[in-house]
Amino acid sequence: MMWKGRFEEDTAQVVLKFTQSLDLDWRLYDHDIRGSVAHARMLGAVGVLSKEEAVQIEDGLNEIRREIRDGELKPFERLEDVHMNIESRLIERLGPVGAKLHTGRSRNDQIATTMRLYLRDSFLDLQSALLLLLEAFLDRAEKHKKVVISGYTHLQQAQPISLGHYWMAWFESFLRDYGRLQFALSSLDECPLGAGALAGSTLPLDRAMTSRLLGFERPTRNSLDTVAQRDYMADYHHFASLFAVHAARMAEDLILYTSQEFGWLKLPDSFCTGSSIMPQKKNPDVLELVRGKTGQVLGHMMDLLITLKGLPMTYDRDLQEDKRGLFASMGTVSGVLEVLPPLIVKTDVDEAAARSALAKGFSLALATDVAEYLVVKGLPFRDAHWKVGKLVKYCLEKKKHLTELTLAEWREQIPETQPDIFEILSLEESVARRNTYGGTAFVQVAAQIDQGKERLLEKTKALEAERNRLKEHAL
């Protein structure tokens, strides 16, 4: 045990079991070794290690990486964590030279570095998966841009819209999530190595060198803050929470719109399940699980924030638990991102059912169009709103659609009506006339799709460039 010189008794076995973190951090071995290689090179460059010792340590670490990767080296619980297991094996291989690796370093700045390296790679993978989801929305928007469906407010039919416009709404939501993930990625871009336990080091460490070797923009600026803060984890949780909320809301939509009561969206059979007793059932289990897992993701964010809110500066052992919820959340988000893109790209529309659903609320669907028609004729909007409201009441009483009214009936209810009123009483015309920027008009949706493709291409190129940049810093 690395602190045995201070203590007269060995650590109790139950304490070792309670305090170990190998169930969490053994997966970090490769990233921990990367940080150690950079640290060893730096120690050799500043003369704390000889050139020969630095090379010995780096070669030893690379061999340990191979042993772990090939399953030859298993962790020991008595060594607590991934850091001490690797260091112990290095000393076992190199003797006193291996014991020099931890010079000028604490496990506090070591784990902070390891986690940033691990999360950097993980966030890039999440970004790749998010791009596939965005691509799926663009695919559906392109295919369904001329399909007219009902838009809803308060879950009541509101106005006719392009289904492509609907898919692009989710594209925008998840594109914002991509931006939040990008922010979380950028918050990792400082290297903690050299901060030590909390106050830096008396040794001539070159923090800029280790930062550069590992592909960070710069070293962290304050050693106390370095080992105390977990903002970069909170930034991830912020992304994950909103992503999960967006995924749950979209899942709820698709569950509703594919139900028999709505019935105008069609889910792929391969992403649904049946019933053990009812042969006719087609259950949207995948979407229900997407919706159901959201609470877990939100809970993990609260777990971290509640842990942090009562901690004094700087490092406290409570922070060992920061990874438990983080890894669980990342696993959930990754799972959702694995199933959503292929589900979305195979989701289709029953246009006849969509048209039938709109017909039921046709009197209401075009009411705003009539009000705006009257505004163009010179009526104040509130007067037009009142007149059209009375007209809708008349239609409901007579069980007629707006298209079934005669010109005489129109003028009886709204004297300002002209024969050209019939030119706007079309679902397609209603959609096409909503031609404001960002609106549902077919030409606007086409423009949104084109812009979306450009933005997606821009994100894809930037992600590829970042991956290539980091390849140059692979240790």
Kindly list the catalytic residues: 154, 275
Degrees, nearest 5: CA angle 303-309-315: 95
Gyration radius (Cα) of the chain, Å? 30
Tell me if residue 453 falls in helix, strand or coil. Answer: helix
Burial of 163 (0-12, 13-18, 19+ CB in 10 A): buried
Which tokens sit at 304? 């971290």
Backbone angles phi, psi at 380, to 5 degrees: -60, 145
Degrees, nearest 5: CA angle 93-34-185: 160
Which tokens sit at 432? 């096409």
- Which residue reads 């979380």 in tokens? 184
Q: Using alpha carbons, select from 207, 209, 204, 206 the residue that is nearest to residue 192.
A: 207
Degrees, nearest 5: CA angle 118-57-41: 70
Taking the alpha carbons of 230, 232, 236, 241 in that order, is the dihedral positive or negative? Answer: positive
What whole-number distance in Å separates Cα of residue 211 and Cα of residue 76? 30
